[in-house]
Amino acid sequence: MEVLKRGLVLLMVFMVFQRGEGQLFENFYRGTCPNLEMIVKQVVSIKFSQTFVTIPATLRLFFHDCFVEGCDASVMIASPNGDAEKDAQDNLSLAGDGFDTVIKAKQAVEIQCPGIVSCADILALAARDVVVLAGGPSWEVELGRRDGLVSQASKVAGNLPDPEFNLVQLNTIFAKNNLTQFDMIALSGAHTLGFSHCNRFSNRLYSFSSSSVVDPSLDPNYAQQLMQACPQNVDPSIAINMDPETPRTFDNVYYQNLVSGKGLFTSDEVLFSDPASQPTVRDFASNPGNFNGAFITAMRKLGRVGVKTGNEGEIRTDCTKFNS
């Protein structure tokens, strides 16, 4: 009997570890909100039909949320004092359509399943759904996150990758979130969608170094295109596509662009120019299946970062406000 008891205890411990970080699992809401994924997908599709920006905005919102305080929808909080996570300098460029997508999906979910599903889980589902809408792969999203109770602008600086980072700096910031160099290169593929403001890369065009005004790693024709779109002292609201070839399709063309000297940021270009990461870039550029598989794995790992589960956090009624 004692042996049996001990065996059961070991089995339970093993099961807890099997569930992974924070005990997320697929079909978490099977008994409490069985239509959840259908509701979110429907709202995301409607929002997408209104504006394409829904896709890159929602995907970027998920990434920015998870890298600060973990995947807990802390980025969704609106503070009357302007001191929440979304108010930090690095988050001011997050497009409103991403926030709107999650808010609308949460409202639709609340009608059918009040007080059950976290904003953090809705954001994770919406991030998957926008990738699919852009022609990318689908995957099962692990669920069970709870919404965070902290959202401070002061916690953002130093926790998001910078467009001027080199490979070591990129690897360091991703490793803090249990993500490998391979994961980082795969997640960088999200730059196949969306846009950037000119000031995020203008140094590569007008003030790169004392020996070269223009970054020599840029394809000269691409550099000319960028200069036409982003002349010096351009209106700071002007934005251009990060993928000059297929900006509205989730594909592996981003990596082909890197091979051709058409990476927009230094942090893109370095993935190809650094010999430590170049083989992975070449592989993803030639093999879309390898990229898609790596992206799915990396997104699932990203979705486990710093999650709150069980009795931690709360289930917000309104994604933009703490319950209390």
SS3 of the chain: CHHHHHHHHHHHHHHHHHCCHHHCECCCCCCCCCCHHHHHHHHHHHHHHHCCCHHHHHHHHHHHHHHCCCCCCHHHCCCCCCCCHHHCHHHCCCCHHHHHHHHHHHHHHHHHCCCCCCHHHHHHHHHHHHHHHCCCCCCCCCECCEECCCCCHHHCCCCCCCCCCCHHHHHHHHHCCCCCHHHHHHHHHHHHCCEEEHHHCCHHHHCCCCCCCCCCCCCHHHHHHHHHHCCCCCCCCCEEECCCCCCCCCCCHHHHHHHCCCCCCHHHHHHHHCCCCHHHHHHHHHCHHHHHHHHHHHHHHHCCCCCECCCCCECCCCCCCCCC
Is 192 part of any known ligand binding site? yes
* Per-residue model confidence (pLDDT) at position 224: 97
Domains of the chain plus CATH, in order, are 33-155 (1.10.520.10), 167-302 (1.10.420.10)
* Per-residue model confidence (pLDDT) at position 8: 52
* Per-residue model confidence (pLDDT) at position 6: 54
Residues carrying an active site annotation: 64
Full-model pTM: 0.92
pLDDT tens-place string over residues 231-286 = 998 998 899 999 999 999 999 999 999 999 999 999 999 999 999 999 999 999 99
Q: Which residues of the chain have pLDDT under 50?
A: 9-11, 13-20
* Per-residue model confidence (pLDDT) at position 19: 37
Is 161 part of any known ligand binding site? yes
Is 243 part of any known ligand binding site? yes
